[in-house]
Amino acid sequence: MSLINRDLKAIWHPYTQMKTALPPIPIVRGQGACLYDENGKCYIDAVSSWWVNIHGHAHPYIARKVAEQLNQLAHVIFAGFTHPPAIELAERLLEILPGNQQKAFYSDNGSTAVEVAIKMCLQYWHNQGINRTKILAFKNAYHGDTFGAMAVSGRSAFTAAFDSMLFEVEFIDLPNASNIKSLTSGISQLTSKLACFIFEPLVQGASGMLMYEAEYLDQLMAHCRNEGILLIADEVFTGFGRTGKAFACDHLSMRPDIMCFSKGLTGGTMALGLTTCSQQIFDAFLSDDRLKTLFHGHSYTANPVACSAGLASLDLFLEPATKENITRIETRHREFVLKIKDHPRVRTTRQTGTILAMEWETGADTSYFSSLGDELYQYFLEAGIILRPLGNIIYILPPYCITDEQLNYIYSTIGSALDEL
């Protein structure tokens, strides 16, 4: 039986429940920026396999470090125990994060990293006997698919079946020069209720790579800090070089109280989540009263193999060559934007770091479910490129190892699509 037939009999894939959905493509091997199917066809992974892969597929250095760890310690319960990979990864990450980040809490993925952050904030106030239970978030936000993460995400077709069960959140617009004063004024009216403000710094990924300026986020964060509102930076997507700096928060003068990480954390090797926080947050839980404990943990919390993958990925990330590649991709994206920005089918373009997005002119239908998205997806697949349009929005988010030749092919194929479709 073929891989496709076996898959269709056994697996429920995300986003593919429509009867008209195309069958999954059986991928059997990866190398660098490319993935290969069972027939040997090469696909350039221009979206880093849902934004997780930063160094390329099957990286030999990460593979070696993972294999070494598997032969030493595969897993141990992390409640009451610890191990070297978890300690080293936490210490090394805290060294390069904003200086107020002092503690690291491990979980399994991006959604759970956010869940931990939300629980930290709500219980921070609870442990002090202060009734601040509301959460502030941006409209169109996406923070994950588990219930807490969904609740602080913008309401959409993806949450519709669960809206009545999600806790109430105060949603505000992205800040800009014209609305920053009204936003801060509105927040002041809610201060006594607000426990925290959660945000995707600079780029809202799943909402269409919506981008906004650091200057106005800084002003919003400063106002929240003055009002005693805790700050959660969701860097699950933007972390590890995506915005041109190590972390999106490196573009800011304000420091968040809590930060969330996953995706690029292990270089796209395996699942791992991490939530870091300030000493102030940690101290609210440090007590002889057991009821002040943060009762949260996962079976695979701080898995040694995943932590070793994270350490290997961090080694590669901190190499000068990686920074050079990030700068090279930024430059190539800018050059491509100049070539296509005036094309009649291009509504708008936007770029932050290695993230390039362009909106296709479609007339009326610009939703996530635009039929153009399916047409574009299939067009690029046939050309050997993995691009997953967000409705009428095409974005390029490649591994840092992608070559100029591969980038040129992606750009030229997009150019052809603009002329042909």
DSSP 215-274: HHHHHHHHHHHHTT-EEEEE-TTTTTTTTSSSSGGGG-SS--SEEEE-GGGGTTSS--EE
CATH 1.10.287.540 fits 3-58+321-420, yes or no: no
Pairing of strands 27-31, 34-37: antiparallel
Among the options 106, 124, 142, 411, which is catalytic?
142
> What is the model's pLDDT at position 1?
58
> What is the model's pLDDT at position 196?
98
The neighbouring-strand residues paired with 36 are 29, 42
> What is the model's pLDDT at position 87?
97
> What is the model's pLDDT at position 4?
74
> What is the model's pLDDT at position 366?
62
Tell me, yes or no, if 65 is annotated catalytic.
Answer: no
Among the options 43, 65, 257, 263, which is catalytic?
263
- Which residues contact residue 330 at a Cβ distance below 8 angstroms, ignoring those fewer than 6 apart? 244, 351, 353, 354
Tell me, yes or no, if 41 is annotated catalytic.
Answer: no
Cα 197 to Cα 94, 152, 265, 280, 348, distances in angstroms: 22, 10, 23, 16, 29
> What is the model's pLDDT at position 123?
97
Tell me, yes or no, if 15 is annotated catalytic.
Answer: yes
Tell me, yes or no, if 7 is annotated catalytic.
Answer: no
d(CA 73, CA 408): 43
Per DSSP, the residues of 240-252 read: TTTTSSSSGGGG-
Among the options 9, 15, 19, 419, which is catalytic?
15
What DSSP element (H or E) covers 27?
A: strand 27-31
d(CA 263, CA 53): 7
On whether the CB atoms of residues 263 and 114 are closer than 8 A, the answer is: no
Among the options 45, 134, 212, 234, which is catalytic?
234
SS3 per-residue string spanning 356-401: EEEEECCCCCCCCCCHHHHHHHHHHHHCCEECCCECCEEEECCCCC
What DSSP element (H or E) covers 65?
A: helix 60-70
- CATH 3.90.1150.10 residue ranges in the chain? 3-58+321-420
Each residue's pLDDT expressed in tens, for the chain with a length of 421 residues: 578 778 777 887 777 666 667 788 999 999 999 999 999 999 999 999 999 999 999 999 999 999 999 999 999 999 999 999 999 999 999 999 999 999 999 999 999 999 999 999 999 999 999 999 999 999 999 999 999 999 999 998 889 999 999 999 999 999 999 999 999 999 999 989 999 999 999 999 999 999 999 999 999 999 999 999 999 999 999 999 999 999 999 999 999 999 999 999 999 999 999 999 999 999 999 999 999 999 999 999 999 999 999 999 999 999 999 999 999 999 999 999 999 999 999 999 999 999 999 999 887 666 666 778 889 999 999 999 999 999 899 999 999 999 999 999 999 999 999 998 8
Please report the beta strands in 254-338, taking only residues with DSSP state E, as ranges in sequence order: 258-261, 273-278
d(CA 203, CA 142): 11
Cα 158 to Cα 135, 164, 171, distances in angstroms: 20, 13, 17
> What is the model's pLDDT at position 364?
67
The position carrying tokens 């399916």 is: 374
Which fold would CATH assign to domain 73-317?
Aspartate Aminotransferase; domain 2 (3.40.640)
- CATH 3.40.640.10 residue ranges in the chain? 73-317
